[in-house]
Amino acid sequence: MVKYTVNERAYALPLLHAAKFPSSEVCGVLLAEASDSETVNITQAVPLFHHWTTLTPMLEVALQQVDLYATKKKLEIVGWYVANENNTDRSLNEHTIKTIDKISRQNNNAVVFLTYVLYHTRQIDNDNIDLHNNKESAILPHIKNGGQWQHSKSSFTASSDFQLTNVDTFAKVRGLISNGQYKDLVDFDIHLEDVSADWLTNSKLHGL
């Protein structure tokens, strides 16, 4: 059975992306260390879109650039993250499934992170960032099982196949959101409008 570890940056960036664009679907790529081991170490998330989430030519361009970046860093594309536009929607939509199916053809251990947001405010649910009282994580990982993408239950708990590398991750993410750090996040859409915008590394995000 494959195990997944997720560092604080890979956990935080999808949430910050969703917080920055609260009225839009947002999506991006997950990167992991290139390895043949039974543990997938997810170390980075690269924010892609908040406008053109279904535009195939733009997606192809973005994925090519991410792949080049990943290769230089000895990483590989291992997954996809998405926060749905509809706040109550915890399903994977058609274009998300098509995208992750494409990724899974290149990587058998592919994963989808579904970012969950609050119903009315479209802000990240700070209670759900933590796991007290048996609440779900603000990120719901999905893995392919029997040809279907299924939610991995009890994620980021002691019994889960998904573990965080830093026990302080939840507290750190709460702090980043409370401090408005998401305002500094840059995705590929922003880069298309300002080519100087650092969407691949998001170096302006302090504390990650």
Judge whether 96 lies within some domain. yes
Q: What is the CATH number of the domain that holds 48?
A: 3.40.140.10
Judge whether 16 lies within some domain. yes
Half-sphere exposure of 60 (CA within 13 A, CB side): 3
Q: How far is the C-alpha of 36 from the C-alpha of 52, rounded, in Å?
A: 34
Judge whether 201 lies within some domain. no
126: three-class secondary structure by DSSP? helix
Mean residue pLDDT across the chain: 87
Q: What is the pLDDT of residues 104-123, one digit of tens each?
A: 999 999 999 998 654 333 45
Q: What is the pLDDT of residues 172-198, one digit of tens each?
A: 988 898 889 999 999 999 999 999 999
Q: Which letter does DSSP use for residue 31 in this model?
A: E
| Number of domains, the chain | 1
Judge whether 126 lies within some domain. yes
Closest CA to 19 of 179, 132, 171, 162: 179
Q: Using CA atoms in the order 4, 56, 197, 83, what is the torsion angle rounded to 10 degrees?
A: -50
Residue 119: which domain range? 3-193
Half-sphere exposure of 88 (CA within 13 A, CB side): 2
Judge whether 146 lies within some domain. yes
Judge whether 21 lies within some domain. yes
Query: DSSP string covering 154-182, please?
Result: TTTSTTSSEEES-TTHHHHHHHHHHTTGG
Q: What is the pLDDT of residues 48-71, one digit of tens each?
A: 999 876 667 899 999 999 999 999
Q: What is the pLDDT of residues 61-103, one digit of tens each?
A: 999 999 999 999 999 999 999 999 887 788 899 999 999 999 9
Q: Which residue has the tokens 């590394």?
A: 201
Judge whether 199 lies within some domain. no
Judge whether 207 lies within some domain. no
pTM of the model: 0.91
The pLDDT score that the predictor gives to residue 203 is: 94
